[in-house]
Amino acid sequence: MQPRSVTLLGATGSVGRSVCDVVAENPGRLSIETVVGGRDALSLARLAIETKARFAALADETAADALSRALAGTGIASGAGRSAVLEAVARPSEIVVSAISGAAGLEATFAALMPGRVLALANKESLVCAGEAVMSRARAVGARLLPLDSEHNALFQVLGSEPIESVRGMTLTASGGPFRTWSAEEIAQARPEQALKHPNYAMGAKITIDSASMMNKGLELIEARFLFGLRPEQLDVLVHPQQIVHGLVTFRDGSVSAGMAVPDMRVAAAHCLGIDGRLDAPPARFFDLALQEPLAFERPDLQRFPALALAIAALAEGGPKPAILNAANEVAVAAFLAGRIPFPGIAALVERVCAQDAPAQAPRDIAEALAIDHDARRRAASLLSQAPFAVT
């Protein structure tokens, strides 16, 4: 049997590295066909050589020469820029892993939806920004979408073959981030280096800041709404610091089933890459419940974490609001990391952008989603130059 071929979008990020670990653990069952990164030519070249990929592409077109030089003599073809990324997506493969961070991954994710193909989705922003369009496209072409986020993957596995009509509700768990026990006053003074210390995962800067503000969990609620076809009121969040339980499904008969695993993205990656059969997980990916500390659960504090409240409101409103929320948040997080605004300024900026006038309907295609994203970013950037967001 030929190994299943994999296209890896966002190859040099934390999810990409987890996927490569799973592929390495299952020789003969999986192979990397194509790797796509952002702008780090040397890291992508090393990964392409290590995984024996046939093609490597960078989103940053200015890095084309650096990537070509790094791959000289390897026989691995390469390219850079938007056209190269889309070429990578179009190359034959059975599974596409979409792990490009942020709205930047939207176009490539949509292009990856081809007949008979499996899309392992770790780019939650694709569904946040254009959930209806993405899910409609997947159904129309016969593509299969599998969730690679640990929470959604747990819910997907728990649901199994049960019809969605049998579900009363779903609960996503959150670690609570580094500020779970901090007071509002302490959070207000938080510095970027403190916000970047996630208690359980090593992730990229943007998603780590989103975890600290709990915006990440709000975006995941919106993603779950489209993945599973639930109403907003059927989705909930619990803070679970140990992150052993990743999701809970409550069925109509009152029974509750939990998806459990160690907090490691390689678990969800192994499930998605296995498609219909379990793969071997990398060593030390199992746990003994008897050795775990007591599992705790608590309600999120929406006063201390207003970003989550804004996401819940955007979920309830629907239409273009989730896309606007996401775009404003990406601008706000970048501003916080650059020292332009304090940590509470993230939610404050997002709230002000979301309060402005917006289109009346959800984006019907990727072009409309990108237009909404662009406009919200422009408005967020404009607000950053005004008090109280201006640097003093």
Tell me the average confidence (pLDDT) per consecutive run of 10 residues in the chain, 392 residues long: 93 94 94 96 97 97 96 97 96 96 88 96 93 96 96 96 97 96 96 90 86 97 97 98 96 97 92 88 73 92 98 97 97 96 97 89 92 96 82 46
Q: How far apart are CA 233 and CA 383, in angstroms?
A: 32
> Residue 289: its pLDDT value, please?
83
> Residue 392: its pLDDT value, please?
42
Q: Taking the alpha carbons of 351, 357, 360, 362 in that order, is the dihedral positive or negative?
A: negative
241-244 contacts: CB < 8 A, separation 24 or more? 241/175, 241/176, 241/180, 241/199, 241/296, 242/292, 242/293, 242/295, 242/296, 243/173, 243/175, 243/200, 244/287, 244/289, 244/292, 244/295
4-148 maps to which CATH number? 3.40.50.720
- Strand, helix or coil for residue 145: strand
Domain spans, the chain: 4-148, 319-392
> Residue 283: its pLDDT value, please?
67
Q: How far apart are CA 362 and CA 224, in angstroms?
A: 17
Q: How far apart are CA 163 and CA 306, in angstroms?
A: 34
> Residue 372: its pLDDT value, please?
95
The CATH architecture that domain 319-392 belongs to is Orthogonal Bundle (1.10)
Sheet with 4-9: list strands edge to edge: 77-80, 55-58, 30-37, 4-9, 95-98, 118-121, 144-147
Are residues 13 and 99 in contact, defined by beta-carbon separation less than 8 angstroms? Answer: yes
